[in-house]
Amino acid sequence: MNSASQTVSVLGLGRMGTAIACRLADLGFPVTGWSRSGVELGGVRTADSPAAAVADADLVLLALYDAAACRQVLARCAGSLRPGATVLGLATIAPAEAVDLHRETPVRYVHCPVLGSAPAAATGTLTLLYGGAGPTPAEVDVLAALGTVLDCRDASTAAALKLVANGVLGDGLVALGQALARARRLGLGRDATLDVLARTALGGLVARKRDRLTGGARVPADFTAGALGKDADLLARVDPDSAVLPRLLASAGAPADADVAAIVTGLADADHRLVDAAAHLYAAPGVPADDELLAPLVGYARGHATGDPAHFGTAFRPTAHVEGIRDGGFVSWDLDRYRANFTGTPAADEPTRTRTVTELGRTGTVGHATMVLRHGPDTFTDLFVLVREHGQWRIANKVYHRS
């Protein structure tokens, strides 16, 4: 490795930037770092401005939080970038933002977000999603020191793939939290549950986070809940079908600066309040105990639990419609058509089914609610509009999504 021939600047010395700068310096690369906080690192030269940090750099690494930070810092150092220098953008940002940075940067810009957290950077085991035509000779040794390069063609593709990857992380954390919550409700111990989950598709996540999930780790976060929440919001912005993910992550109540493992424990330890035992109906943490507003939802859940369509007659207004996508097409059923789906007997797997109110609120004579119904292999998300009429709340309309 001909490390002495490439000079590197790392702009942003948070967890990831610090790990990258120290890794490269330890391997003999001349590294200059800069951060807003003015932090100093042993073995790494630091500058007092972005312009000073990049003045001699062949390769500039942007280890910053978001696209706004990247633009602000680049604006401060654009005039000091060396001709022929390359800027590698490591931040998790939206595809359109990556394209804008590629267009606006006065020297060669490659969007190159990474898979892996600070420990992976420190050991050179990151995966680098390289959104360009291919590393230049000046980049090859630096990238090899940090991990494995995947060719992602262009800035937009690299940014989109990073969002997909972080969405999978979020989905995995939610799935692990929900699995631990189920185990808790079944009276199972956490260690025994993790022993089994370690042998499932969640095994890699369990292995990485087990110490934190069992209270054994007291070290700084590898990746914070706040940062993942930011990334999930970005994903939902470009893919509206992913909008449920940031809501699920937020429902865990994890502090923004905590490790993402806190999302798992928050979901695992959340106490879902029992609303109606016969209907297997629960309320998620934070849902108000508004018995009047919950009443039509209880009737609705009982209709599902018993298969008796009479419950829907009291839960819904007579003019209500049930709407959604069914068999690939939009349907809008009146109440009679909807009730015709129910035979008067419960489903065979009713003992395993659950229904959870996740949102509930009212303004004057109108209200809204969201309920998640887990019916065998299917999960339904129902959104309700409710109205108060003659002193009684009823469902005015319902839309649903089936997954």
Whether the Cβ atoms of residue 128 and residue 148 lie closer than 8 Å to each other? yes
What single string gives the DSSP state of each residue in 256-294? TTSBTHHHHHHHHH--PEEEETTTTEEE-TT----HHHH
Output the pLDDT for position 278.
87
CATH number of 160-269: 1.10.1040.10
Angstrom distance (rounded) from CA 114 to CA 131: 11
Q: Domain 3-153 belongs to what architecture?
A: 3-Layer(aba) Sandwich (3.40)
Which candidate, 140, 150, 149, places its Cα nearest to that of 1? 140
Backbone angles phi, psi at 137, to 5 degrees: -55, -35
Output the pLDDT for position 363.
97
Whether the Cβ atoms of residue 66 and residue 93 lie closer than 8 Å to each other? yes
Q: CB neighbours (10 Å) of residue 401?
A: 13
Angstrom distance (rounded) from CA 121 to CA 115: 10
- With residues binned 3-state (H G I as helix, E B as strand, rest as coil), the percentages for the chain, rounded to 5, are 45, 25, 30
Output the pLDDT for position 1.
45
DSSP letter assigned to residue 327: T
Taking 70 as the pLDDT cut, the residues of the chain under it are: 1-4, 216-218
Cα dihedral: 352, 358, 362, 366 (round 10): -60
Domains 3-153 and 273-402 share a fold: no
Q: What are the extents of the domains in the chain?
A: 3-153, 160-269, 273-402
Whether the Cβ atoms of residue 127 and residue 90 lie closer than 8 Å to each other? no
Which amino acid is located at 191 in the chain?
A: D
Which amino acid is located at 258 in the chain?
A: A
DSSP letter assigned to residue 241: G
Output the pLDDT for position 42.
84
Q: What is the pLDDT of residues 25-44, one digit of tens each?
A: 999 999 999 999 988 888 89
Angstrom distance (rounded) from CA 374 to CA 337: 23
Angstrom distance (rounded) from CA 261 to CA 205: 9
Angstrom distance (rounded) from CA 325 to CA 88: 43
Burial of 201 (0-12, 13-18, 19+ CB in 10 A): exposed
Evaluate whether the domain defined by 273-402 bears CATH number 3.30.420.40: no
The tokens of 379 are what?
């999960």
Output the pLDDT for position 250.
81
Which candidate, 69, 128, 81, places its Cα nearest to that of 105? 81
